[in-house]
Amino acid sequence: MKDVTIIDQAVPKSIQDILENITRGDKMNWFRQERATYGENAPGVFPVTPNSRDLPQFTHSIYEIDKPVSQLFHVLLPVITAIPYTVKQLIRIKMNLGVYTLLENPEVHGMPHVDFTKVAESLLTAIYYVNDSSGDTIIFDQRFGATGPLTVKQRVAHKKGRLVVFDGRLLHAGNTPRDNTPRININFNAFIYEGAKAD
């Protein structure tokens, strides 16, 4: 698996618009989480940088372990198909919504983390960006278990229709938007078969 792959216009514009309209609509159920990393950022679990802040976010679960838990799952099938690897088993799909937070330092970002710490095979993480917003995703050079300072491998701008796919062992961090436009993304975790998807 390549460390990081970015695919712009991962799904047709019509699907992009449907996803944005649903997630920004008044019928969407969002649930507030006090901490974006769900309490896993205890000392010794994930490295903390001087610019790390574990800020609140809103979430909506779509798929958990072995079954869909939201009617949105079927709308997301084109995004799953756009992942350039053959999925062996979906583990989780979760939608995140970040809102503007006044921060004292413009370099502040979310907590470096991985989505799952106890896995023994190739785990893929993918993030689909539902709307245009600010607040990059930061992917670090270091994998889970690394100690010492973190260095940035890639910053990925939050652009509607973009899909970033990366090794699920790489530490990464989200961001809150820098203005009043909400930051909505969909996070996928899956076990995959090694090698790129066959055409």
Q: What is the pLDDT of residues 16-55, one digit of tens each?
A: 999 999 999 999 999 998 876 655 545 556 777 788 888 8
Confidence of residue 199 (pLDDT cuts 50, 70, 90): low
Residue 2 token pair: 């390549």
Mean pLDDT along residues 71-89: 95
- Asked if residues 61 and 94 have their Cβ atoms less than 8 Å apart, the reply is yes
Distance of CA 135 to the CA centre of its chain: 12
Residue 80 is classified by DSSP as H
| Model confidence pLDDT, tens digit, residues 117-155 | 887 778 999 999 999 998 899 999 999 888 778 999 999
pTM over 0.85: yes
The CB density around residue 42, as the number of other CB atoms within 10 Å, is 9
pLDDT above 70: residue 175: yes
Phi, psi (deg, nearest 5) at residue 8: -85, 150
* Cα radius of gyration rounded to whole Å, the chain: 16
CATH, domain range 4-196: 2.60.120.620
pLDDT above 70: residue 5: yes
| Model confidence pLDDT, tens digit, residues 89-109 | 999 999 999 998 877 787 888
CA-based angle 102:105:111, to the nearest 5?
A: 85
Residue-level pLDDT at 198: 56
